[in-house]
């Protein structure tokens, strides 16, 4: 299956004018190492900022790593290249995962990470496309990313571009009505280049999803809305790369939803599956313990 996915992606590359290869193309083993490094960067910048959201950043980082270092076609030296693939972090509070990745890719200096959530810095508490190179959509209010992604895919169709639009949404965010309006629109317009990814870690700021507003069978819901739906282990790098490499390649087709089962705080045992780490920054002692575990 993996070999077939690679061949399909290569065929797609050859057919699309101006198509870019991923500038890093890391192996899955290298991706695992990179994700661990980025987990350390995330926690370091949050400790420096003394505020922010570690739990959802750590649950998302394996997928974000796979996208930027293997799957997506992008160029850190030319962030505005018209036919680049887009990644929208609709769950914008998890921006430390995106900031760490963009800095490591070379979109902006790593020194900027020390200015997270600080006056005069370039990295807001939620991503701003006006302040930070590589950010495709400003985020803050939850629920908007999928609608924006639909718009980008429609614009790409009008411009005769074949770029994919990857949109990561969160659990609590999936209780927002706008998500489901966008979920109806994408199949209606056959936005096959739209790939939604649910970081399904089961927790949100006020507790478990089941207690706050039960989400039920998310895969069944998205299938009912007309999406091609795939469930994966959001921390299995082989599975992540396999699936992401073969979706979103054809316009005028059903959009794809990837329900990624993840663990809030993944990689740091004292943070895993703990709702209190949704929006609590590590102390210096917490950071030391976490970095020792990630090493």
> CATH number, domain at 203?
3.40.50.970
User: Considering the domain boundaries, does residue 14 fall inside one?
Assistant: no
Q: Does the residue 1 lie in any domain?
A: no
pLDDT at 20: 55
Domain span including residue 171: 21-294
Instruction: Give the pair of three-digit tokens for residue 284.
Output: 């210096």
Q: Say whether pLDDT at 76 is over 70.
A: yes
Please name the residue that has the structure tokens 């659990």.
Answer: 171
Structure confidence by residue, pLDDT tens digits, 230-263: 999 999 999 999 999 999 999 999 999 999 999 9
Residue 66 in domain: yes
Query: Does any domain span residue 12?
Result: no
Sequence length of the chain is 295
CB 72 within 8 A of CB 22: yes
Residue pair 63/232 in contact (Cβ under 8 Å)? The answer is: no
**Is the pLDDT confidence value at 77 over 50?**
yes
- Assigned domain for 185 exists: yes
Residue 237 CA to residue 31 CA, distance in Å, equals 7
pLDDT band of residue 9 (cuts 50, 70, 90) is: very low
Residue 10 in domain: no
Structurally, how many domains does the chain consist of? 1
Torsion of CA 105, 55, 180, 252, to 10 degrees: 30
Name the average pLDDT for the chain. Answer: 93
**How far apart (Å, rounded) are the C-alpha atoms in residues 260 and 257?**
9
pTM (predicted TM-score)? 0.92
Percent of the chain with pLDDT over 70: 93
Instruction: Please state the φ and ψ torsions of residue 251, each to the nearest 5 degrees.
Output: -75, 170
H or E element at residue 237: helix 237-244
pLDDT in tens, 10-64: 443 434 333 457 999 999 999 999 999 999 999 999 999 999 999 999 999 999 9
The answer to the question of residue 16 being in a domain is no
Strand partners, 176: none
Q: Let me know if residue 13 belongs to a domain.
A: no
């Amino acid at each position: 299956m993996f070999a077939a996915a690679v061949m399909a992606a290569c065929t797609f590359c050859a057919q699309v004018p101006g198509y870019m290869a991923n500038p890093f193309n890391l192996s899955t083993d290298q991706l695992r190492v990179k994700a661990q490094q980025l987990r350390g960067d995330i926690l370091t910048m949050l400790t420096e900022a003394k505020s922010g959201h570690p739990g959802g950043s750590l649950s998302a980082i394996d997928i974000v790593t796979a996208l930027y270092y293997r799957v997506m076609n992008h160029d850190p030296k030319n962030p505005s290249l018209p036919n680049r693939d887009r990644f929208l972090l609709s769950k914008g509070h998890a921006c430390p995962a995106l900031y760490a990745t963009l800095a490591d890719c070379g979109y902006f200096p790593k020194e900027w990470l020390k200015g997270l959530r600080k006056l005069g810095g370039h990295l807001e508490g939620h991503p701003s496309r006006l302040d930070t190179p590589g950010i495709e959509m400003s985020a803050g209010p939850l629920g908007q990313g999928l609608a924006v992604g639909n718009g980008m895919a429609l614009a790409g169709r009008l411009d005769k571009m074949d770029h994919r639009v990857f949109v990561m949404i969160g659990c609590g965010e999936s209780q927002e009505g706008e998500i489901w309006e966008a979920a109806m629109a994408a199949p209606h317009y056959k936005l096959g280049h739209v790939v939604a990814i649910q970081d399904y870690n089961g927790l949100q700021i006020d507790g478990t999803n089941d207690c706050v507003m039960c989400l039920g069978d998310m895969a069944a819901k998205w299938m009912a809305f007309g999406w091609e739906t795939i469930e994966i282990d959001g921390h299995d790098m082989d599975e992540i790369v396999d699936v992401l490499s073969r979706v979103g390649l054809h316009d005028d087709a059903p959009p794809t939803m990837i329900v990624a089962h993840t663990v809030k705080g993944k990689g740091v045992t004292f943070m895993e599956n703990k709702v209190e780490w949704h929006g609590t920054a590590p102390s210096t002692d917490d950071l030391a313990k976490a970095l020792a575990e990630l090493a």
